[in-house]
């Protein structure tokens, strides 16, 4: 059996791909002076038209958190591959983390992006809220009630959130190393808001890298950071005609 | 470095209140300091944490608040006093705002408390 850490040793710091029209990109940036960190993000295919989006942050940073990060990330992926919904996936990851290292905590979001339904179903265990920008505007996907990070309570089952993902919408997942750089979270949130709008207008495949540049993170992040983006394809002519026919 | 935990009431019974005063930025570099400062909390019925002079906390510091709450679980109350809006937001994002009592000032805390403050 191959050691999962060996696999991640050679994982590229950034990825970009297109799956059924959805443009996906990731960027993982360990803290400066650290070879590896405790933040992760990844995308993977769950079903014919469903993409799994996973991001998280093991509290602390640097190499010592790397092994825990690998284990939790894999637990999420394994649970998702068994067909569990995002809330139950994170509940499973929570149980795993409590067994694996009772002293550790991790924040995480896991989401299922349905291309056909143009919707995102996700659960959030204490992680900074995703950001969505598109023709309808820009907003953080925050809710009045929040869920605890993984590892805090034995019976955590975070709430399940459902949001529609209209055509030409950009979804941004990120860790606090992105939004709370220089210990100025309010400023960081505003900068991220602007960076996402810029990246949406630029409309390139390397969206996560563009946001990294806009946030001036390159080579200067003192905390681990990760960015994941998913860009829904514009509506096809058939969809537009269908919508007009329905009077939408 | 300026002492971050300026004062803890030396009570020995669980019918008492502790005050922990925090200052400045809390991150990985000060995680052990925070852990040490919170260590005696389970001895107290109520722990009030004065955060009026805290400018920022990161995830590692937040994890110490989680540990504090775990140690107090079912046996006491933790009150966060005077946290800035962005620290309040962090507590909300992580769901901790409903696990702790959050007050903007001592005056608005549920139980009157008049600590003798002694900053170094």
Kindly state whether residue B6 falls inside one of the protein's structural domains.
no
- Torsion angle defined by CA atoms of residues A179, A27, A215 and A86, in that order, rounded to the nearest 10 degrees: -30
Q: How far is A126 from chain B (nearest CA, A)?
A: 4
Chain mean pLDDT for chain B: 77
Residues of B with CB below 8 A from A156's CB? none
- pLDDT tens across A98-126, in order? 999 988 899 999 999 999 999 999 999 99
CA–CA separation, A80 and A42 (whole Å) = 13
Contact B90 A149 (CB under 8 A): no
Q: How many domains does chain B have?
A: 1
Q: Give the predicted TM-score (pTM) of the model.
A: 0.81
CA–CA separation, A181 and A188 (whole Å) = 6
pLDDT > 80? residue A248? no
Kindly state whether residue B4 falls inside one of the protein's structural domains.
no
Kindly state whether residue B56 falls inside one of the protein's structural domains.
yes
pLDDT > 90? residue A243? no
- Say if A86 is an interface residue toward chain B (CB within 8 Å): no
Kindly state whether residue B50 falls inside one of the protein's structural domains.
yes
Kindly state whether residue B120 falls inside one of the protein's structural domains.
no
- pLDDT tens across A17-49, in order? 999 999 999 999 887 766 678 899 999 999 999
Report, as an integer, the average pLDDT of B72-85.
Answer: 85
Kindly state whether residue B2 falls inside one of the protein's structural domains.
no
Q: What is the CATH number of the domain that holds B54?
A: 3.30.750.24
pLDDT in the model for residue A63? 66
Going by DSSP bridges, is the β-strand pair B46-57/B77-81 parallel, antiparallel, or unpaired? parallel
Buried b or exposed e, range A96-116, using 16+ CB within 10 angstroms: bbbeebeebbbbbbbbbbbbe
- Say if A224 is an interface residue toward chain B (CB within 8 Å): no
What number of C-beta contacts closer than 8 Å exist between A and B? 59
* B39 within 8 A of B47, measured Cβ to Cβ: no
Instruction: Name the E strands within A131-209.
Output: 131-134, 137-140, 161-164, 170-174
- Say if A152 is an interface residue toward chain B (CB within 8 Å): yes
Chain mean pLDDT for chain A: 86
Q: How far is B114 from chain A (nearest CA, A)?
A: 31
Kindly state whether residue B20 falls inside one of the protein's structural domains.
yes
- Say if A166 is an interface residue toward chain B (CB within 8 Å): no
Q: How far is A94 from chain B (nearest CA, A)?
A: 14
For residue B19, the enclosing domain spans: 15-113
CA–CA separation, A88 and A94 (whole Å) = 10
């Amino acid at each position: 059996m191959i050691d999962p850490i060996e696999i991640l040793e050679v994982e590229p710091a950034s990825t970009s791909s297109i799956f059924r029209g959805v443009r996906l990109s990731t960027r993982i940036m360990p803290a400066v002076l650290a070879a590896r960190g405790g933040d992760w993000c990844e995308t993977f295919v769950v079903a014919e038209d469903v993409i799994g989006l996973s991001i998280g942050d093991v509290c602390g940073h640097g190499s010592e958190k790397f092994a825990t990060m690998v284990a939790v990330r894999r637990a999420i992926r394994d649970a998702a591959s068994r067909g569990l919904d995002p809330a139950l996936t994170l509940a499973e990851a929570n149980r795993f983390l409590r067994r694996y290292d009772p002293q550790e905590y991790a924040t995480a979001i896991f989401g299922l992006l349905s291309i056909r339904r143009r919707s995102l179903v996700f659960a959030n265990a204490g992680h900074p809220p995703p950001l969505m920008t598109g023709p309808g505007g820009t907003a953080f996907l925050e809710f009045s009630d929040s869920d605890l990070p993984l590892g805090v309570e034995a019976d955590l089952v975070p709430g399940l959130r459902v949001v529609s993902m209209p055509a030409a919408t950009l979804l941004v997942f990120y860790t606090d190393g992105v939004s709370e750089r220089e210990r100025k979270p309010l400023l960081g949130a505003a900068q991220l808001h602007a960076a996402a709008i810029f990246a949406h207008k630029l409309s390139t495949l390397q969206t996560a890298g563009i946001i990294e540049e806009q946030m001036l993170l390159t080579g200067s992040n003192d905390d681990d950071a990760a960015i994941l983006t998913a860009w829904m394809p514009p509506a096809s002519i058939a969809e537009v005609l269908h919508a007009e026919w329905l009077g939408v | 470095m300026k002492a971050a935990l300026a004062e803890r009431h030396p009570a020995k019974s669980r019918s008492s209140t502790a005050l922990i005063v925090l200052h400045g930025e809390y991150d990985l570099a000060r995680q052990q300091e925070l852990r040490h400062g919170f260590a005696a909390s389970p001895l107290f019925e109520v722990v009030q944490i004065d955060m009026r002079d805290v400018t920022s906390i990161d995830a590692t510091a937040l994890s110490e608040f989680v540990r504090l709450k775990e140690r107090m679980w079912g046996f006491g109350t933790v009150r966060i006093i005077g946290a800035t809006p962005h620290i309040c937001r962090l507590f909300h994002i992580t769901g901790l705002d409903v696990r702790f009592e959050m007050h903007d000032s001592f005056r608005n805390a549920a139980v009157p408390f008049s600590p003798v403050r002694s900053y170094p």
